[in-house]
Chains A and B, each alone.
Chain A
Amino acid sequence: MDDASFQEYVASRGQALARMAYLLSGSHADADDLVQAALAKAYARWPHISTLDSPDAYVRRILANQHVSWWRSRRRERLTDQTPEVAVGDATGARADADLVRAGVRALPPRQRAAIVFRYFEDLDDAAIADALGCSVGTVRSQISRALATLRAQYELADLLTSGGRS
């Protein structure tokens, strides 16, 4: 009975969770591992999770925690392997803007990135994000505020460089 409801859950939510994992991790391979690890943990506690009003909220929390944990354990490698590239010289047009924002989001600290993903991709409100990240609503707001400030500053710098400071 548990297995059937878990299978049903993965069938309906697996793709969405995989996408969320990708946005959190920024890597297709990591996203595969992340979503699988999160769902394995969810399965281990499925008899409990399946009774909740929102199993998604619980699984989302597992995913977020796993992401933060992995990021911390791998951050040294990431610092050397995946330094975000900001194509300042090509920062013209909508596509360049998108690239800039994409690089900026990937370079955010994990909790800020998660907050941004939950807000803009999952359309969660602050309370739901706080639940997923295991922190207060106030912390969520400050995380999102800092993230947006960082992204805005990066864009403004790039814009300044590419426009020769005309603005």
Chain B
Amino acid sequence: MTDLDELIREVLTTDAQTQLQPDRLTERSMRLGQRLRHRRRLGLAAAALGSVTALVAGSLVIADHVGGHPSNVATVSTADQPQTPWWTAWPKGRVYSAAPGAEFMTAPPLDTSKIYASGTLPDGTDFVAYLDPSESDPHQPQFLQGWNDIVDFGEAAGEGPQAGPDATYLSLESPTYQTGRDNVGTTQWLVVVGQPGTTSASYSADGSTWQPMAVDDGIAVLQIPGIAPRGARIQLSDASGEYMNGPLALP
């Protein structure tokens, strides 16, 4: 056989020649894109309207934190990197809402997606964890993060045993990678959205040594090197004690 690398290159190059640029590509793309822009403007207007509600909700969260509840998840910091995430107007924390499709302009069709949590990673990167019904059945947790208005798609997590937009769940686990504008790091952020009332979470790469995860509003995050190994486990507890101790359901 010819060298495989060479053969692949040759086949792809040959096949590519058979594809012509679609007729009126520019015109059609602009027309469709114009509609998307319009939808986006409507979405942003709705978000701006909703920001009043978010402001009130945010005040309550702040008041709650002032009241003594620990919070290890940092708020948005503009000190190191200027951030202009396009979901800035969204409330942080648990959301449990259907996402307006216009908010996900560069994502798959998501009109019925459910947002489960949004927040800010300790490094300042904003994130949204959501379930996308178009991805699979059962739904897979997805992860979006933004940096300077650039959306990075995290890895799709494994199919959680109880994941579903309307289902009661133990946890949604979604990994991503610490990314910047021009580079991709090798450090993974593991985000676990525990059930409401989750007070502590721990991660173990080998099932014996445990690391506490920062928990805020039942959303746990931890920075881990590389990819979580197969034997990794998660432990979650609420006021009544441990309610989950099982394998990390990632691919």
Q: How long is the Cα–Cα vector from A7 to B27 in the complex, in angstroms?
A: 9
* Chain A minimum-CB-distance residue to B33: A43
Query: Which among B20, B30, B177 has the greatest number of chain A C-beta atoms within 10 A?
Result: B30
Q: How long is the Cα–Cα vector from A61 to B179 in the complex, in angstroms?
A: 14
B14 interface hit (Cβ, 8 Å)? yes
Q: How long is the Cα–Cα vector from A121 to B12 in the complex, in angstroms?
A: 6
Q: How far is the CB of A121 from chain B (nearest CB, A)?
A: 4
Query: Number of B residues whose C-beta is below 8 Å from A?
Result: 55
B18 touches A44 (CB 8 A): no
Q: How far is the CB of B144 from chain A (nearest CB, A)?
A: 9
A139 touches B227 (CB 8 A): yes
Q: How long is the Cα–Cα vector from A62 to B153 in the complex, in angstroms?
A: 10
The B interface is mostly helix, strand or loop, or mixed, namely mixed
A151 touches B8 (CB 8 A): yes
B33 touches A120 (CB 8 A): no
B7 touches A97 (CB 8 A): yes
**Given contacts A40-B33, A41-B36, A44-B33, are A136 and B188 in contact (CB under 8 A)?**
yes
B32 touches A40 (CB 8 A): yes
A20 touches B40 (CB 8 A): no
Range of interface residues on A (Cβ < 8 Å) = 35 or more
Which residue of B16, B19, B29, B135 contacts A72 across the interface (Cβ within 8 Å)? B135
B30 touches A101 (CB 8 A): no
B186 interface hit (Cβ, 8 Å)? yes
**Chain B residues within 8 Å of A21, by CB:** 19
Contact residues of A with B, CB < 8 Å?
3, 6-7, 10-11, 14-15, 18-23, 28, 31-32, 35-37, 39-46, 48, 58, 61-62, 65-66, 69, 72-73, 94, 97-98, 101-102, 105, 116-117, 120-121, 127, 130-131, 134-139, 148, 151-152, 155, 159
Question: 21 A-B contacts, Cβ less than 8 Å apart?
Answer: A10-B26, A10-B29, A22-B19, A36-B22, A36-B25, A37-B32, A39-B26, A39-B29, A43-B29, A44-B36, A65-B153, A66-B108, A97-B1, A98-B10, A116-B12, A121-B9, A134-B154, A136-B185, A136-B188, A138-B227, A151-B8
